[in-house]
Homo-oligomer: A and B are copies of this chain.
C-alpha cells in the first residue's frame, strides 16, 4: 500500500508523513508533493489510490487537483486536511466528490488521534470521515433552514464574478426577470435589507455588492472559490460561440 501526500507546508508535510507511518503500518511507501500540480502528476504516475491533500496551496489548490484526479480514477480515496471549514471549501469539495467514493475532511486543528483514526477509516475501511465542525457546516448549508440552495449559491457566484443580469440570464438560459427574482431571494437570505445606521432615511447599501461582501464575511465565498468560478466562466465564454 502506498500513500501520496500533497501539502505545501514542509512542517505539515513531515508531520503528515509521521502520522501516516504511525497509523498505517501496512503502508510500504509514502510519496510527497508540495503543490497541486505535482500532486496530480505523481498521482497519475503512481496510480495512487490513497491520497492526503491540503486544500489551500499556492501553486494549484487542492480542490482543482482532486477534481482532475477523481476524473481519471473515481475510486481514489482522498483525505482532505485543511485549516478551515469555510462553507466555500465544504461546498467545493462536496461538489466534486464522485458517486460512492470514499473521502474525508479533517481539520488541521484536530488531535493526532483523530487524524490517525480518519486515515485508517478511509484508507482501510473505505469509510467517509467528516470532521464534526465540517459536518455541521454541511448540514447548515444543505438544510433548508438557514442554508442556501444550489440555485442561490450559483447566482451568488455569478454576481461575485461581476456578471450583469443579462449575462447571467444567458448563461443559465433564463429570462432577465427570473435572474432578478433569484437575486431578490438571495438578498433576503443574506439579510441585506437592513439599514446601515437605522437613524435617518438614507441608508441602504448597494445590494449587489453588499451581498458579495457579506458572503465573503460569512465565508460562503473565498479566494479559491472565486478562482475556480473565474476559470469556469472563461471556459463557458470560450465554448459559447
Q: Give every chain B residue within 8 A of A207 (Cβ-Cβ).
A: 162
- A217-236 to B contact mask, C-beta < 8 Å, 1/0: 10100110011001000000
Q: Give every chain B residue within 8 A of A223 (Cβ-Cβ).
A: 216-217, 219, 222-223
In contact, B11 and A206 (Cβ under 8 angstroms)? no
Among residues of B, the one whose C-beta sits closest to the C-beta of A241 is: B199
Flag whether A172 is at the interface (Cβ < 8 A): no
Stretch at the interface among A24-32, A37-45, A163-171: A163-171
Complex: how many Å from CA A222 to CA B226? Answer: 12
Shortest distance from the beta carbon of A178 to any chain B beta carbon, whole Å: 17
Shortest distance from the beta carbon of A203 to any chain B beta carbon, whole Å: 8
In contact, A163 and B206 (Cβ under 8 angstroms)? yes
Complex: how many Å from CA A205 to CA B165? Answer: 9
A197 is contacted by which of B204, B222, B226, B240 (Cβ under 8 Å)? B240
Q: Give every chain B residue within 8 A of A204 (Cβ-Cβ).
A: 164
> Which residue, of A15, A159, A216, A222, has the highest number of chain B Cβ atoms within 10 A?
A216
In contact, B213 and A160 (Cβ under 8 angstroms)? yes
In contact, B161 and A213 (Cβ under 8 angstroms)? yes
Nearest first, the 10 A-B pairs at minimum CB distance are A162-B210, A162-B209, A162-B213, A162-B205, A11-B11, A197-B237, A164-B206, A162-B206, A161-B213, A199-B241
